[in-house]
Structure 1
Amino acid sequence: MRKLAVLFALMASPALATGLQIDVSGKANGTIKIDLLEDVAPKHVERITALAREGAYDGVAFHRVISGFMAQTGDVEFGRVGSGNLGYAGTGGSDRPDLKSEFSDQPFVRGTLGMARSSSPHSANSQFFIMFQSAPHLDGQYTVVGQVTEGMEVVDKIKRGSGQSGSVSGKPDVMTKVTVTD
């Protein structure tokens, strides 16, 4: 009878949430913690966690950072610092196929983690961005994957890019280690 009560208690408790811990170095130094929204974008969460577990995000630069908007990273093909390809950062992805969009009614607010994509809604692959502030024009147009729970002060210090594209020149801030948490 006791085993049955324990089983019912486990079934009634909320599922453990998956998250990311991103260690950042550069102008911004510290840790960003993100809760991933498996119920909102399961395929995108699966992709990000798989790449993180493989270490694909380790050493990848924040290549596009626009003041008052967002910081973009995650180009595992061309975004790795020291690879000699950093000039192409933002044009690559992973060796996996692009993902079908998982648009939702989740708003893009400060701290939202969203998937980057080209003009095609079904072109997200490995790149993602973190919002500095709300951007309602992205709502329902890009896939929301998570929300920062700790470390927005680190996000706020990420080296900004220049021009309309927000391209970061010189030495960019880097995700030194990305870990999946449960």
Structure 2
Amino acid sequence: MFKLAAAFTLVASSAFASGLEIMVDGEAQGTIKIDLLEELAPKHVEQIKAIAAEGLYDGVVFHRVIDGFMAQTGDVQFGRIGMDMRMAGMGGSEFGDIEAEFSEEPFARGIVGMARSSDPNSANSQFFIMFEQGDFLNGQYTVVGRVTEGMDVVDAIKRGEGPNGAIIGRPDVMIKVTVTE
């Protein structure tokens, strides 16, 4: 009886989990599915979902991509196709910054974290997806989700150049970002 109840609880909790479905175009093409971790970062997840629900992530590029590290996107202010890509990564959203919600969740391959400035309480709309393990980020950045499908798409995202991972030429873009329940 206990095993059945435990199995039902696991299925029931994952059935109500929310996430993101990101359609990507460029060198990478396909869909990335992310399970949002409300239990770890409720304020951050709420803001990401609100931004996505308003369609603000649609058309936003991956502006900072460092091979062996991560792919960053989510600058809804300056990070759209057709904008000056030298400004991409400097903006956020009108929703305002969020206080850090650090957790014990390690930054492993496929983990989604919130980008921020040197101020731990400055995360807003930008996020990144880890290509590889990044233990040096543990306890320093807020974990908001994990990729459940489409790591092959993440792996194909166009890499940037130099230590900051700036994209030269046409960046890959999030064509459509949908909140899933």
TM superposition score normalised by structure 1:
0.92
- Structure of larger gyration radius: 1
Q: How does 1:17-96 map to 2 (within 5 A)?
A: 17-82=17-82, 84-96=83-95
Q: Shift in Å at residue 151 of structure 1?
A: 0.2
Query: 2:107 matched to 1:108?
Result: yes
Residues 50-106 of structure 1: CA deviation (Å, up to 9, x unaligned): 000000000000000000000000000000112x33220000000121100000000
Q: Secondary structure at the residue paired with 2:52?
A: helix
Letter of the structure 1 residue corresponding to residue 104 of structure 2: D
1:172 and 2:171 aligned: yes
Alignment gaps of 5+ in structure 1: 1-8
Paired residue for 1:99?
A: 98
Question: How far did 1:38 drift?
Answer: 0.3
2:5: which partner in 1?
A: none
Q: Deviations over 1:23-55 (max 9, x none)?
A: 000000000000000000000000100000000
2:148 equivalent in structure 1: 149
Q: CA RMSD in A?
A: 1.4
What are structure 2's unaligned runs of at least 5 residues?
1-7
Q: Which residue of 2 aligns with 1:117?
A: 116
Q: Report the equivalent of 1:181.
A: 180
Whole-angstrom distance in 2 between the partners of 1:29 and 1:75: 20
Distance in structure 1 (CA, Å) of the matches to 2:95 and 2:65: 25
Amino acid at match of 1:130: I
- Secondary structure of the 1:86 match is coil
Provide the residue aligned with 1:6 in structure 2. Answer: none
- Provide the C-alpha distance between the structure 1 equivalents of 2:85 and 2:60, rounded to a whole number of angstroms: 9
TM score, norm. by length of structure 2: 0.92
Inter-partner Cα distance in structure 2 for 1:102 and 1:41: 5
User: How big is each residue's C-alpha offset from its partner over 1:107-148, in whole Å with a ceiling of 9 and x where there is no partner?
Assistant: 000000000000000000000000000000000000000000
Tell me how far apart the structure 2 counterparts of residues 176 and 42 of structure 1 sit (CA, whole Å).
25
SS of residue matched to 1:87: coil
The code of the aligned residue for 1:94 comes to S
Q: Secondary structure at the match of 2:47?
A: helix
